[in-house]
Amino acid sequence: MNAPAIVWFRNDLRIADNPALLAAARTGAPLVALYILDEESAGEWRAGAASRWWLHHSLAALSQSLAERGVPLTLRRGRAQYVFEQIIAETGADAVFWNRLYEPWAMRRDEEIDSQLREDGVQCHRFHEALLFEPEKLRTRQGESFRVFTPFWRACLAATPPKRPLPAPQELRAAPLPPDSDDLEAWRLLPQNPDWAVGMRNVWLVGETAARAELADFARHHVADYKSERDFMGRVGVSRLSPHLHFGEISPREVWRAISDPGSIGGEAYLRELGWREFCHHLLIAHWELPDRPLDRAFERFPYRDDEIALDAWRRGQTGYPLVDAAMRELWITGWMHNRARLVAASFLIKHLLIDWREGERWFWVTLVDADLANNSANWQWVAGCGADAAPYFRIFNPALQGEKFDPDGDYVRRYVPELARLDARYIHSPWAAPEPALREAGVRLGGTYPHPIVDHAKARERALAAFESMRGRASARPA
């Protein structure tokens, strides 16, 4: 009888368009479906609390889909190298199939496992599926990795287009004696006490089926208006597919195929955002230090401040700037934040509060259901002005003006900052400017029901620009 083959699921928690699963199924070998919770290898970048909540439900969904096809999902916890030793000894498997990951810790680990398994006579089959374009194949004319988005995206569009998504395997055959599995509940990925996931349960359906339905709905009803609607935080203008994409419940190729409609302005704008996802991964692969060090090394001398009180106010959505507070509370309640809100909230932390971008990056890591090492670190660096193709440092968002522009009726603020819900739209983004009767009528007491701004915008802006100048001064004064 054939020896079993192991399909190692990672951030590809789906059945359809899963090259590793399909290739393993096509060998005709009995399958062991395996997921390893390898927090040791991930180290400080192991999944944060909100991602663990998502992972629990995503694994439950995958386990059910596999069970319907007769294959149990084996769950094991520990360093993947050791888990493989055990599973191979237990099952006699002679092949392992997996789809590649691009986090530096995972790339390092996977190389080790690949050589360890080959030494032991186990074949390794690795596939590319997490990105639309193979990152190693995209190079500048000088043969280097890209640091600027527009030429990068041009190179992507000129490359061989993404392949058609693969079908789900028609038939899966389980190994006759599947290895024992851990109990998912016992992993305690869900919050225990207190249960802070109520808001997340209310807004998300997790798993491959839900992801496909979300994509279909977005492609049918919203993508046409994506370009004009995507910045409005109180409206349904974006796809909210990011956690599904991060956990691989849907493949970028499926999204590409559903959205590609030549000549559609909304579609083109949307594919360009998928392009940013590709670019962030391209950057992380070329710069493993991306999550920890500014790509522009001059920023290593940036005079950030330690200010626990301000950092805490930012995290809790108590800065006195309604748009920033709505953003941070949306994150806390739902595990997600609208992109425009991410830009404003991140900029506020870095520039108004002069707090190191890595503090924000780490808070997002813990609280986002779509926390993704490449997207998170590249975007934080972008906002901080220290990344590749970054926003110029001196472009400092005014949160009140951003609110007036992209949340004109205040719907977004009203939803997440209920203590301001009755305030007239004229003042909802700057309650400090409201006349006393307007505040009284809306039941708002500044410094009581809602905080005064923790910094003054104009002064904070000046302070940020001065800090930037002092960094530049230090950079140019540096001995050659």
Q: Residue 314 or residue 364: which is nearer to ligand FAD going by CB?
A: 364
User: Which distant-in-sequence residues (6+ apart) come within 8 Å of 425 by Cβ?
Assistant: 408, 409, 410
Query: Nearest approach, Cβ of 35 to ligand FAD (angstroms)?
Result: 21
Smaller CB separation from ligand FAD, 76 or 282 = 282
Closer of 98 and 364 to ligand FAD (Cβ) = 364
Closer residue to ligand FAD, CB minimum distance, 276 or 432: 276
Cis check for the bond before 399: say yes or no (omega within 30 of 0): no
| Local structure of residue 297 (DSSP, 8 states) | G
| 73/238 with CB nearer ligand FAD | 238
DSSP letter assigned to residue 248: T
**Which amino acid, one-letter code, is at 453?**
P
**Closest CB to ligand FAD among residues 74, 214:** 214
Residue with tokens 């104009």, as numbered in its chain = 458
Q: Report the nearest approach of ligand FAD to the CB of residue 449 (Å).
A: 29
Closest CB to ligand FAD among 34 and 390? 390
CB closer to ligand FAD out of 166 and 346: 346
Shortest distance, CB of residue 47 to ligand FAD, whole angstroms? 12
Q: Footprint of ligand FAD on this chain (CB under 6 A)?
A: 230, 238-242, 245-246, 273-274, 276-277, 280, 339, 342-343, 346, 364, 368, 370-372, 375-376, 379-380, 383
Give the C-alpha separation, 69 to 431, whole Å.
57
What is d(CA 55, CA 35) in angstroms, rounded to the nearest whole number? Answer: 11
CB of 274 to ligand FAD, least distance (A): 5
Shortest reach from residue 153's CB to ligand FAD, in Å: 12
Question: Whose structure tokens read 């080790």?
Answer: 112
Nearest approach in angstroms of CB 270 to ligand FAD is: 6
User: Min. distance of Cβ 444 from ligand FAD in angstroms?
Assistant: 29
Q: For residue 446, count CB atoms less than 10 angstroms from its CB and return exposed for 0-12, middle for 13-18, buried for 19 or more.
A: middle
Per-residue CA distances from 278 to 102, 129, 138, 222 (Å): 11, 12, 11, 22
Q: Could you tell me the end-to-end alpha-carbon distance of the chain, in angstroms, rounded to an integer?
A: 69
Shortest spacing between CB 215 and ligand FAD, in angstroms:
10
Distance separating alpha carbons of residues 262 and 45, to the nearest angstrom? 39
The burial class, CB within 10 Å (0-12 / 13-18 / 19+), for 196 is: middle
Which residue, among 394, 406, 417, has the nearest Cα to 340 in the 3D structure?
A: 406
